[in-house]
């Protein structure tokens, strides 16, 4: 039976790249399968076409019209909702087209932030699946928080973001501090959305998770125990190792310059600081980072950007500082000119692959964590928003695979005013992550080996990917019984 799946990624570059990568894995794993990605344009960009490759063979892309991109009119949720009519008509037309070719539309796979698109699957009598771009443990937290609320045991939105309380999470082996919950769970106006999304996740036929079984064995026990949750397929690490930016001439030149500088540095001597597509800091915090870098004495590559006005531009990208000499401590650029390089945009994958990089100060986005593990680069955790505080706790406390700068740090439009991270904290984290002989570094190298093996033929993730396709086919067959 020839089958087709529709994937609907969230309009964020990290989510779209992960979705593209798993789609490639799937079509390569089974000749019966074709995939169409329906791409919702970014809310903050009018030119998105260059970000996606051309359709090839059994992997196709359908870029929807941009529509209204006014941030004043649309929250992220309403922006996704506004594209429902386009998605509905596109899926309906695709279903008609492939049925004439002897194929079968076997289901819709939606991003973890696009659960409202499951309504379209229901309307068209199609199975719905989720591609979960975070980890199994955090998925378990979402289900657990919803169960606690529905059973009148605990309402985590009553916690404050500086609470010292802890509670048990079945996908973790140790008590979880409330202050490491994502900001969205502290806000009464957003918590109903958190609960509704968890309830939606329970209704799908299966959840593809971008993680590795050997990283989260305890979490997987929870999902195999009949807790009213759908099947979970750990198919990671799903990485787009070839994509670094848009591929524009200017970014190609910057990438070449950065890699040329790295090639001149000794092995494992450079600490790399990069905080994701939305990560930036204010002037005072930037100066603290500079002081820490200089005191540490380590060579550094620093992706430095100014935080956007997040109160008015929710999720908008950070800006560049216009004049670094006015922002950084006096004489810093001259004193560190031989050992440091400051950049704005960073080709993160290429940098992590460089043999000169010995440590990575990261915002703990899940893609960044997986990339660092893939290349065996130790990380220092400095989360900023979303579920990054949970990821930091998992990496530092649960797995012992990261050093800590401050795992409960947060900023963003839901977090209020961020507390300053001191130069002393940052320096300590840098020194810890650059210690190549530490137990943490040794554990990370072993985990890096395991996640490479997971994708090999017969590895945990390879087997899970094939099991997913098998279950998709079986779910379609059941409709004819």
144-162 as b/e, with b when 16 or more CB fall inside 10 Å?
bbbbebeeeebebbebebe
> 440 in helix, strand or coil?
helix
Q: State phi, psi for 362 to the nearest 5 degrees.
A: -130, 155
Could you give the angle at the alpha carbon of 192 between the alpha carbons of 186 and 197, nearest 5°? 105
DSSP per residue over 28-51, as a string?
HH-TTEEEEEEEPPPTT-S--GGG
DSSP per residue over 196-211, as a string?
HHHHHHHTSSEEEESS
Q: How many angstroms separate the CA atoms of 124 and 86, rounded? A: 14
- Strand blocks (E) in 211-276: 232-234, 270-274
Per the CB < 8 A criterion, the answer to whether 210 and 161 are in contact is no
Q: In terms of DSSP bridges, do strands 166-167 and 176-177 run parallel, antiparallel, or are they unpaired?
A: antiparallel
Neighbour count for residue 216 (Cβ, 10 Å): 27
Of 29, 54, 50, the C-alpha closest to 37 is: 54
Q: How many angstroms separate the CA atoms of 472 and 481, rounded? A: 15
- CA dihedral (380, 411, 140, 110) positive or negative: negative
- Strand blocks (E) in 122-204: 128-132, 166-167, 176-177
CA 281 to chain centre: 20
Q: How many angstroms separate the CA atoms of 453 and 450, rounded? A: 5
Residues assigned a catalytic role: 15, 111
Distances (CA, A) of 5 to 31, 135, 318: 13, 23, 35
Per the CB < 8 A criterion, the answer to whether 410 and 161 are in contact is yes
399-433 as b/e, with b when 16 or more CB fall inside 10 Å?
bebbbbbbbbbbbbbbbeebeebebebbbbbbbbb
Q: How many angstroms separate the CA atoms of 38 and 16, rounded? A: 10
């Amino acid at each position: 039976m020839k089958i087709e799946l529709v994937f609907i990624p969230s309009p964020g570059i990290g989510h779209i790249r992960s979705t593209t990568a798993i789609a490639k894995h799937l079509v390569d794993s089974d000749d019966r399968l074709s995939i169409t990605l329906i791409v919702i344009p970014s809310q903050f960009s009018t030119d998105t076409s260059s970000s996606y490759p051309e359709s090839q063979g059994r992997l196709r892309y359908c870029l929807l019209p941009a529509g209204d991109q006014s941030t004043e009119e649309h929250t992220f949720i309403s922006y996704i909702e506004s594209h429902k009519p386009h998605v509905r008509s596109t899926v309906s037309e695709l279903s008609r087209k492939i049925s004439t070719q002897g194929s079968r539309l076997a289901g819709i796979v939606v991003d973890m932030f696009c659960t409202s698109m499951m309504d379209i699957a229901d309307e068209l009598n199609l199975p719905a699946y989720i591609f979960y771009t975070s980890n199994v443990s955090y998925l378990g937290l979402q289900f657990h928080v919803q169960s606690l609320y529905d059973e009148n045991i605990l309402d985590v939105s009553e916690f404050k973001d500086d609470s010292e309380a802890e509670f048990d999470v079945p996908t973790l082996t140790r008590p979880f501090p409330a202050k490491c919950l994502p900001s969205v769970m502290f806000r009464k106006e957003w918590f109903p959305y958190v609960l509704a999304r968890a309830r939606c996740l329970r209704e799908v036929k299966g959840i593809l998770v971008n993680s590795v079984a050997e990283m989260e064995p305890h979490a997987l026990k929870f999902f195999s125990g009949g807790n009213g949750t759908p099947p979970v397929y750990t198919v990671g690490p799903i990485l787009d190792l070839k994509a670094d930016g848009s591929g524009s001439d200017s970014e190609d030149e910057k990438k070449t310059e950065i890699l040329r500088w790295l090639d001149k540095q000794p092995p494992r001597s450079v600490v790399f600081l990069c905080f994701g597509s939305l990560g930036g800091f204010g002037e005072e915090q930037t100066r603290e980072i500079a002081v820490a870098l200089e005191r540490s004495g380590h060579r550094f590559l620093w992706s430095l950007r100014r935080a956007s006005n997040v109160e008015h531009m929710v999720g908008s990208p950070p800006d560049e500082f216009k004049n670094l000499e006015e922002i950084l401590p006096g004489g810093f650029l001259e004193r560190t000119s031989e050992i440091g390089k400051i950049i704005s945009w960073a080709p993160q994958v290429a940098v992590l692959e460089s043999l000169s990089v010995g440590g990575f100060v990261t915002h703990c986005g899940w893609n960044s964590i997986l990339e660092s593990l893939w290349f065996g680069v130790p990380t220092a955790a400095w989360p900023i928003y979303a579920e990054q505080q949970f990821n930091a706790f998992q990496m530092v406390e649960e797995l012992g695979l990261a050093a800590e700068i401050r795992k409960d740090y947060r900023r963003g439009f839901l977090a209020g005013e961020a507390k300053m991270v001191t130069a002393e904290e940052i320096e300590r984290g840098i020194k810890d992550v650059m210690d190549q002989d530490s137990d943490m570094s040794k554990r990370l190298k072993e985990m890096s080996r395991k996640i490479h093996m997971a994708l090999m033929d017969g590895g945990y993730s390879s087997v899970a990917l094939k099991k997913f396709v098998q279950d998709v086919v079986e779910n379609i067959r059941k409709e004819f019984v």
